[in-house]
Structure 1
Amino acid sequence: MNILISNDDGVFAPGIQALAKALKPLGRVVIVAPESERSGFSSALTLDRPLRPIQIAPDVWAINGTPADCVYLSMNGMFDFEFDLVVSGINSGANLGDDVLYSGTVGAAFEGRLMKQPAIAVSLAGSNVRSYQQPEDYAQAAQWVHDFIADGLPQLPPRHIFNINIPDIPCIKGAQITYQGQRIQSKPITTQVDPRGRQVLWIGLAGEAVTDPKKSCIDIQSDFFAVAHGYVSITPIQMDATNYSILETLKIQMGCKNIELQ
């Protein structure tokens, strides 16, 4: 099996190195990742300049682009062989709920959405920031991913991926299938003045997570709820964001009008 690994923390990040080491028993592992951190780039592709792959070690490449660039190039002619699986991570920090809209980790995984096996985005979602700097935490999280793949990936419909968030390593109670949770409105922006008297703005912190169970789906908890209670969160997410449940209602509300182009 040929496994492509990418991330948004950069090619030298401890999470991607631990993941590559853990997955090598499963087949050939190739790292193609941004040359530096590219967090928050979602599925952005670089279209205004050329991209330059640089091989820094056997089967390890750095690219001056986004996480999605790395996977796109790797799957569309950069190599003379095809990949069987795309794994993105291990991200330093959670990608839960609304965060997936911005996540470069998830964006890289979504570039692998057309493969026969569902792509995987993996994040270390522990509450202890210091733990992200500990190699043993990444190693244990990577081993969990190895076992998840080795046991046989569950099947998903086309264009779906797995978004996996792993809580504090010593506290893991197991794994849960979850739905994508929500955050309340984000914190206000911060306004400052730079030394030259110009106004600058900082994007505020993400809003608080909603960790209450969804009453209409009581047997399945949100990703926030699972991680907060010590479980690995496994969320199937899809590229198609259409809300099919309201299509007919919306059609009726609009009076079944046909919009004519002039």
Structure 2
Amino acid sequence: MRLLLTNDDGINAKGIYALAKELEKEHEVIIVAPDKERSACGHSITLTRPLIVKDTNLIGLKSKAFSVDGTPADCVKIAINKLIDNKIDMVVSGINKGLNLGTDVLYSGTVSAAIEATIYKIPAIAISMEIQQNAKSDETYEIAAKYAREILLKAKENNLANDIVLNVNIPMLKEDEIKGIKVCKIGSRLYSNTYIESNGENNETQYKIKGVVEDIHEEDSDTIYLKDGYVTVTPLHYDLTNFKILKDVCEWF
């Protein structure tokens, strides 16, 4: 398969390196990723200035790589429209440094890059891994890369539809501690946000957001299965229509 790899942690992130190292063993891999971290940028794209694209040599990888001074969605758009001439079979976004569970998918640049691919009718997988704060081994992505390869194979064998994203989250456990894979719905994550106030150089008021997450462990959701030691897989689609109340709202008018 010809795979496009991207992320929101930047082209030099360890996660995308581990992912490329694993997938290029069996597939043709092209990397198009942001030149620096663009976490939590959502599905934004760059309209007000030109994008700068650079050939990048990632030591130890045979895959061709480009850096883009834009968002993850920018990377997918320019890869499809300009940088890659031949058909892309699938887009894989990640491995993200940190989870994208529940409602985090709305903010995630990793997930948004995958969704951008499906807008172009290319199936996609978003891969994220749990990171424990202050852990010395917090960036060991080899186990997550193995699961990415396994899920990619299953997606290919079962002809994953070209408008679907598989959102994958991997717990930070030893390989023999992971219980398996659960396909499930997204759960809910709430943040107790605090804004830290400070003064800038020109005496302007600055606010930096800090948040503590609280997972709502709904039955059969990604938040509860990951907590229980499973890799979670959730099919996503960019159509946000709430079909449950569509007819009801029609009656309003």
TM-score (norm 1): 0.86
Letter of the 2:241 counterpart = T
Does residue 208 of structure 1 match 2:214?
yes
Superposed CA RMSD in Å reads 2.0
Does residue 162 of structure 1 match 2:166?
yes
CA deviation after TM superposition for structure 1 residue 98, in Å: 1.1
Residue of structure 1 equivalent to 2:82: 77
Residue of structure 2 equivalent to 1:119: 124
SS at match of 1:183: strand
CA deviation after TM superposition for structure 1 residue 56, in Å: 1.4
Change (3 A) 1:240 1:138: same
Once the two structures are superposed, residues 196-248 of structure 1 have per-residue CA deviations (whole angstroms, 9 ceiling, x without a partner) of 543111123154110142xxxxxxx1111111110001011110001011011
Question: 1:26 touches 1:150 (CA, 8 Å); kept in 2?
Answer: no
Q: Which of 163, 177, 183 is the aligned partner of 1:177? A: 183
CA deviation after TM superposition for structure 1 residue 150, in Å: 2.3
CA deviation after TM superposition for structure 1 residue 133, in Å: 3.9
CA deviation after TM superposition for structure 1 residue 184, in Å: 2.9
Does residue 142 of structure 1 match 2:107?
no
CA deviation after TM superposition for structure 1 residue 158, in Å: 5.0
Cα separation, 2, equivalents of 1:156 and 1:240? 17
Cα separation, 2, equivalents of 1:123 and 1:132? 16
Residue of structure 1 equivalent to 2:193: 187
Residue of structure 2 equivalent to 1:19: 19
Once the two structures are superposed, residues 178-211 of structure 1 have per-residue CA deviations (whole angstroms, 9 ceiling, x without a partner) of 1111123542323233465431111231541101
Q: Which moved more, 1:198-207 or 1:13-22?
A: 198-207
Change (3 A) 1:129 1:146: farther
Change (3 A) 1:125 1:8: same
Residue of structure 1 equivalent to 2:96: 91
Residue of structure 1 equivalent to 2:114: 109
Letter of the 2:238 counterpart = M
Once the two structures are superposed, residues 1-32 of structure 1 have per-residue CA deviations (whole angstroms, 9 ceiling, x without a partner) of 11000000000100000000100133210111
Cα separation, 1, equivalents of 2:239 and 2:166? 14
Question: 1:128 touches 1:168 (CA, 8 Å); kept in 2?
Answer: no
SS at match of 1:18: helix
- Give structure 2 stretches of 5+ with no counterpart: 58-62
Does residue 224 of structure 1 match 2:198?
no
- Give structure 1 stretches of 5+ with no counterpart: 214-220, 258-262
Question: 1:84 touches 1:116 (CA, 8 Å); kept in 2?
Answer: no
Cα separation, 2, equivalents of 1:91 and 1:4? 15
CA deviation after TM superposition for structure 1 residue 121, in Å: 0.4
Residue of structure 1 equivalent to 2:233: 234
Q: Quick check: which has more Rg, 1 or 2?
A: 1
SS at match of 1:111: helix
Once the two structures are superposed, residues 16-60 of structure 1 have per-residue CA deviations (whole angstroms, 9 ceiling, x without a partner) of 000001001332101110111111111111111111211112501
Question: 1:16 touches 1:89 (CA, 8 Å); kept in 2?
Answer: yes
Question: 2:9 touches 2:39 (CA, 8 Å); kept in 1?
Answer: yes
Cα separation, 2, equivalents of 1:132 and 1:70? 29
TM-score (norm 2): 0.89
Cα separation, 1, equivalents of 2:180 and 2:152? 16
Question: 2:88 touches 2:122 (CA, 8 Å); kept in 1?
Answer: no
